[in-house]
Amino acid sequence: MFKKFSPSTDIAGQTPPKSSVQRSIRAAVLQQWKIGPETLEEIWPKKDTLIHVKCREHISIYTIQSVPLFFQHFDGPFYPTLRLLYQYPFLLPKVGVDRGAIRFLLAGAPMMCPGLTSTGGYLPPPEEALPKGTVVAVHAEGKEHAVGVGITELGTEEMRRVNKDVAVEIVAHLGDDLWALQTL
Amino acid sequence: MSSSDQQEPQPVRPLQVIYCQICTFPPEYCEFGSSLTRCKEWLQGANSQLFDKYYSDEALQSKIGTLSLEAQAKLEKDTAKKEAKAEAKADAALKKKMASQVSIKRIERNKRKHVTAIHGLEAFDVDLKKASKFLAQKFATGASVTKNAQGLDEIVVQGDVSGDVLELIEGGAGPLKGVPADNVVIIEEKKKKTQE
């Protein structure tokens, strides 16, 4: 999503949203991510106002004190920024990819099933199967830190069965233009 | 804060992540960037513990992981090629920067009024907005940043200040620092600048 993003041309406006909207965002974030309310309080204190940065193609980035924290496309699920994910790795469920796939992901390619089902990849076991449309952290074989944030196009059980085509659409990865933005 | 609330879960502390100063990635991903040799040098100097963790012999062995030997060799060759390409690009960009000129044009507006247009400051990492404010203050006239016909940004200062701007750039005042003096050139233009 942030393959080509330059703050000078792609930002339409920055406004603080209404507090009712802020409360609904807070509730949605608590529900979607594996986070407890006290930890969210650390990242986003009640007193601080969120700033809503509108970008092209209906992408909204939310920042606290000029640091981007999470973003969404249209009214879709909230994705944490990679930097936030590094600080709190438990936010999202993990899937793992093969070492050979890393360089393609870093160039922005979507994640294909074989990368997840091969020996180097990791998919959560059937008891914790993830449905289609879950926001996940994409980890790489042998690495501590996530390569990127994505959303599953197929359920994990389907991925194991079908083993073809796109498994996870990568929304943000290490080294994209969102990564380059430390403050907004 | 009531102390009777002992079941209240503690917030989880954020993990402190070290990022490579050279390529801004976490150090384990430096091998996928385009500056591996510089990154390794930096990491060795900055945090030798991490360096050993990632680049010691056992670490390199275990990293080969599930890839076959040819695949690993190919991967290494590709990354080396990418690094060489990135270095070449950086060199070319630097050379272009050295060769690029900052041109100061004096353009006629009315019969006795002029404007001064300054081109090419971008190549030297000058913040154009700050520079134009600085110039406007210095000369007590209007200055603005506009895009000209070629798509390049230029600073336009009202009045004929070309000589003074030349001195300022050579002196490297305020936001104009970083421009080497010999790259500056003055051009005279007899153009009828259209009024907006």
Average pLDDT, chain B: 73
For B101-189, give the CATH class.
alpha beta
Residue with tokens 């002196």: B171
| Inter-chain Cβ pairs, chain A and chain B, closer than 8 A | 71
**What is the reported pLDDT for B14?**
82
Do the domain assignments include residue A33? yes
Q: What band does B188 get if pLDDT is binned at 50, 70 and 90?
A: low
Domain that holds residue A139: 94-173
- Minimum-distance CB partner of B28 among A90, A144, A179: A144
pLDDT of residue B177: 64
Which chain B residues are within 8 Å of A144, Cβ to Cβ? 26, 28
Distance from CA of B20 to the nearest CA of A (A): 12
A102-116 core/surface letters (b: 16 or more CB in 10 A; e: else):
bbebbebeebbbbbb
Residue of B5, B7, B20, B29 to mutate, testing the A interface (most A Cβ within 10 Å of its Cβ): B29
In a domain, A43, yes or no: yes
From A22, A55, A87, the end of a domain falls on: A87
Domain shared by A104 and A162, yes or no: yes
| Mean pLDDT confidence for B180-194 | 61
> Distance (Å, rounded) from C-alpha B57 to C-alpha B53?
9
C-alpha span between B91 and B128 (Å, rounded): 24
d(CA B50, CA A47): 38
pLDDT for the residue numbered A57: 83
Query: In the structure, what pLDDT confidence band is assigned to residue B115 with cuts at 50, 70 and 90?
Result: confident
Nearest chain A alpha carbon to B10 = A38
Q: What is the CATH number of the domain that holds A168?
A: 3.10.400.20
- Per-residue pLDDT at B180: 65
Kindly give, in sequence order, each residue whose CB lies less than 8 Å from that of residue B178, ignoring residues fewer than 6 positions away.
B124, B125, B126, B172
Domains identified in chain A, total number: 2
The answer to whether residues A72 and A112 belong to one domain is: no
In which order are the strands placed within the sheet that holds A11-15? Answer: A11-15, A50-55, A59-64, A67-73, A79-80
Instruction: Please indicate, yes or no, if residue A141 is contained in any of the structural domains.
Output: yes
pLDDT of residue B196: 36
CB distance A100–B75 less than 8 Å? yes
Q: Is the pLDDT of residue B112 over 60?
A: yes
Average pLDDT for A127-138? 86
β B184-189/A166-173 pair status:
unpaired
Q: Is the pLDDT of residue B175 over 80?
A: no
Across the interface, do A103 and B71 touch by the CB < 8 Å criterion?
no
Same domain (yes/no): A23, A44 = yes
A164: tokens are 């073809």
Confidence of residue B173 (pLDDT cuts 50, 70, 90): low
**In chain A, what are the helix, strand and coil shares in percent, each to the nearest 5?**
35, 30, 40
> Which residue ranges make up each domain of chain B?
27-98, 101-189
Assess whether A115 and A69 both reside in one domain: no
- The answer, yes or no, to whether residue B185 has pLDDT greater than 80, is no
Question: Do A126 and A167 have their domain in common?
Answer: yes
Determine whether the interchain pair B15/A179 forms a contact, defined as Cβ–Cβ distance below 8 Å. Answer: no
* First CA to last CA distance, chain A: 17
Contact check, Cβ <8 Å, B62/A142: yes
Residues in B touching A103 (Cβ below 8 Å): 32, 75, 78-79
Could you tell me if the ipTM is greater than 0.85? Answer: no
Interatomic CA distance for residues A128 and B59, integer angstroms: 31
Query: Across the interface, which of A86, A98, A147 has its CB nearest the CB of B66?
Result: A98
For A180, name the nearest residue in chain B, comparing CA atoms only: B24
Pick from A67, A87, A107: which residue ends a domain? A87
- Is A184 inside a domain boundary? no
Q: What is the DSSP string of A44-65?
A: S-TTSPEEEEEETTTEEEEEET
* A83 and A11 within one domain: yes
Does the distance separating the beta carbons of A120 and B66 come in below 8 Å? yes
Specify the pairing of strand A111-112 against strand A79-80: unpaired
Which residues of chain B lie closer than 8 angstroms to A38, CB-CB?
A: 8-11
Of B15, B16, B78, the CB nearest to A89: B15
In a domain, A178, yes or no: no
Residues of B with CB under 8 A from a CB of A: 8-12, 14-17, 24-26, 28-29, 32-33, 62-63, 65-67, 71, 75, 78-79
Domain end, chosen from A59, A87, A115, is at A87
pLDDT band at B54 (very low <50, low <70, confident <90, very high): confident
